[in-house]
Amino acid sequence: MSPLGIIGRLVLTLLSIASFAPQIRLIRDRGDLAGISPSYILYNLLIATFLFATALHIVTSMVPDLPPTEYFFDIGQFAVVWVGQLALFYLFLTLPTYTAAQKRRLAASFVSFTAITLAPTIFEAFIPKEDRIWWTAGLAYLLFFLLAPIMQLLGLVALHVQVRETKSRTTLGALSVGGLYAQTLVFTLVGASMVFRVKMLPEYWDGNPSLPPERNTPLAKLWMGIVGWYEMVGWATLDNLIFAFAQGSLWWIARRRSVSGEIGERDPLLEG
């Protein structure tokens, strides 16, 4: 990896960490999560768990010869986002805003999801390479073909539930507008950078050479190339850009409500 690539990855990782600070600080200062939907917190954590698990699966089984530096920064990017979302979930569980029943239900959902995604991926790393072929194939099917589209849809659902929560209130509460703005910028850059982190081999765009020419058409080659791109890096690009879009949409709604006087004067635009 070039020095420029190392610096770029390091900067994005540090910016990702910093982007969670305004929201976490505001919640801690207030001592509650009023104005933040529990489902919004859970869905974003599930998506971050999926991204972390998928990244681990790829570097463990699909590109096991990745240079150590590149491995460290690429896994680190997904890990810090997962920790940031986990910190918000921890605040949800420990602060008294919501009922014990709500907390138990969402905690059970998180534990169950982790048990079928992150836990098997970690276990995969300890299976001898020659013995993991069926495990890897099953995990790849689960992550790429079953969960990946659902996670992208879940990102939009998270936006919907938080928009509904925000519009139902007269104040922004614990929702940090500054944090929303920061994450819009940071995760737009992160999503765009994913396109350049993985070099697609030319063979991905050659289609299936075993097919007769009349079936291995340019359209078939394009489709197989897109599928290969999605499997290697497209999932990360889309999930990060959807998150950036969601945070940007929430920032815009909060900004418009503030300018139009729909929220209380005690909740300044860049609170948090």
d(CA 78, CA 52): 5
Better-predicted residue by pLDDT, 68 or 30: 30
Which residue from 229, 127, 169, 155 is spatially nearest to 36, judged by alpha carbons?
Answer: 169
Look at residue 199 in the predicted model and tell me its pLDDT. 65
Query: 244 in helix, strand or coil?
Result: helix
Q: How far is CA 143 from CA 68, 90, 132, 221, in A?
A: 24, 25, 16, 23
d(CA 251, CA 182): 10
- For residues 120, 122, 128 and 129, what is the CA-based torsion angle, rounded to 10 degrees? 90
Look at residue 264 in the predicted model and tell me its pLDDT. 46
Does residue 227 surpass a pLDDT of 80? no
- For range 81-108, the mean pLDDT: 96
Asked whether 19 and 182 are in contact (CB, 8 A), the reply is yes
Does residue 56 surpass a pLDDT of 60? yes
Look at residue 241 in the predicted model and tell me its pLDDT. 97
Does residue 265 surpass a pLDDT of 50? no
Which one of 25-29, 166-170, 210-214 scores highest in mean pLDDT?
Answer: 25-29
Look at residue 15 in the predicted model and tell me its pLDDT. 97
Asked whether 239 and 152 are in contact (CB, 8 A), the reply is yes
d(CA 45, CA 109): 11
Tell whether pTM > 0.85. Answer: yes
Can you say whether the dihedral through the CA atoms of 159, 162, 168, 173 is positive or negative? negative
- For range 79-102, the mean pLDDT: 96
Query: Tokens at residue 75, please?
Result: 């896994």
Q: How far is CA 22 from the centre of its chain?
A: 18
Does residue 26 surpass a pLDDT of 70? yes
Per residue in 175-223, pLDDT (tens digit) is: 999 999 999 999 999 999 988 876 665 665 565 666 666 666 777 667 7
d(CA 210, CA 207): 9
